[in-house]
Amino acid sequence: MTSETRVAILGVPIDLGAGRRGVDMGPSAIRYAGLSRRLHDLGHHVVDFGNLATPMVETTPLPPPDARLRYLEPIAEVCQRLAELVSDIAAQAMLPLILGGDHSLAIGSASGSARGRRLGLIWIDAHADFNDETTTPSGNIHGMPLAVLTGRGHLRLTGLAGKTPAFDPARVVLIAVRDLDPLEREALRTSAITVFTMHEIDRRGMAAVMEQALTIATRGTDGFHLSFDLDVVDPREAPGVGTPVSGGISAREAHLAMELIAESGALRSLDIVEVNPILDERNATAELAVELALSALGKRIL
């Protein structure tokens, strides 16, 4: 990445994958916090592609209460269109910056970025998002994208990169997880994914964790996709998220992770997801999302 990276912003205002409303307004909140202008001031060439058209809950037939894959078809359709658009953006030597929206969108964004190239995957999140239809306690697809991207899940979702899995699990790193479902935990233990829980971050420090994560995600790859869920940050500093969990990383630790990602020069695409303005305080979480995106794209203290 250079100081003149061509950045393509794309909003995906979807909340069909989540159990709580409001994250569909996340892209607007992040833009309102000055994302495009501040990226331009950092020296990047910025193109905002607007928002991908997404269905609303109010106009989408409700799934049955016992559905194991809630809103599967509309989510799959959105993710397919998103994968195609992200692939086209990447082919134009632009870095896709995807604004969410719930985390189900990463099925499309990460798959699109991985088309035609071998990428690693760094997933920074309070949750593992490693459920499938057999393990999910809720049926909400925003709890499944990491499983889908590593080859576990419904066939309607797993092939959007033109290959299955979209990412080799041995080149996938999950960072700062602290809230796991029981069957999800067992699935992770038997996977080849590298997992750094909050326990490892507390003991080893964010710098050591990120240095190892970057080594894993870049070894033998063409770079990596980063998917960042704002709920990884402690709710005291990021209150406006879809699924808050206490005991998260600090804003400063999040910035350090992003600064090390920028220094790697291997970032190829980026998701910022799960900002929920309804639950936020004076748009503080969206403003933090902008600051973290800037750090990932090269902003330095000195």
DSSP for residue 139: -
CA distance 112 to 85: 7
Contact 274, 229 (CB under 8 A): yes
Two tokens at 64? 């049955």
3-state percent helix, strand, coil for the chain, nearest multiple of 5: 40, 20, 40
Contact 148, 118 (CB under 8 A): no
Which residues have CB under 8 Å from 250's CB, separation 6+? 233, 234, 237
Which residues have CB under 8 Å from 150's CB, separation 6+? 165, 166, 167, 169, 172, 191, 193
Neighbouring C-beta atoms of residue 53, cutoff 10 Å: 9
DSSP for residue 210: H
Secondary structure element (H or E) that encloses residue 182, with its range: helix 182-189
Contact 176, 197 (CB under 8 A): yes
Annotated binding-site positions for Mn(2+): 103, 125, 127, 129, 229, 231
Contact 48, 74 (CB under 8 A): no
The set of catalytic residues is 103, 125, 127, 129, 142, 229, 231, 274
Please report, for residues 27, 232, 238, 250, 262, the alpha-carbon distance to residue 289 in angstroms, rounded to integers and kept in the order given.
Answer: 10, 12, 9, 13, 15
Please report, in tens digits, the pLDDT of each residue of the chain (302 residues total): 555 799 999 999 999 999 999 999 999 999 999 999 999 999 999 999 999 999 999 999 999 988 999 999 999 999 999 999 999 999 999 999 999 999 999 999 999 999 999 999 999 999 999 999 999 999 999 999 999 999 999 999 999 999 999 999 999 999 999 999 999 999 999 999 999 999 999 999 999 999 999 999 999 999 999 999 999 999 999 999 999 999 999 999 999 999 999 999 999 999 999 999 999 999 999 999 999 999 999 999 88
Q: Please, which residues bridge with residue 229 across strands?
A: 273
Please report, for residues 69, 72, 90, 110, the alpha-carbon distance to residue 162 in angstroms, rounded to integers and kept in the order given.
Answer: 22, 19, 15, 12
Neighbouring C-beta atoms of residue 291, cutoff 10 Å: 18
SS3 216: helix
The predicted structure's pLDDT at residue 302: 85
DSSP for residue 193: -
CATH superfamily of domain region 6-296? Ureohydrolase domain (3.40.800.10)
Annotated binding-site positions: 103, 125, 127, 129, 229, 231
The predicted structure's pLDDT at residue 138: 96
CA distance 149 to 158: 6
HSE-CB at 224 with a 13 A cutoff on CA atoms is 29
Cα dihedral sign for 214, 220, 224, 230? negative
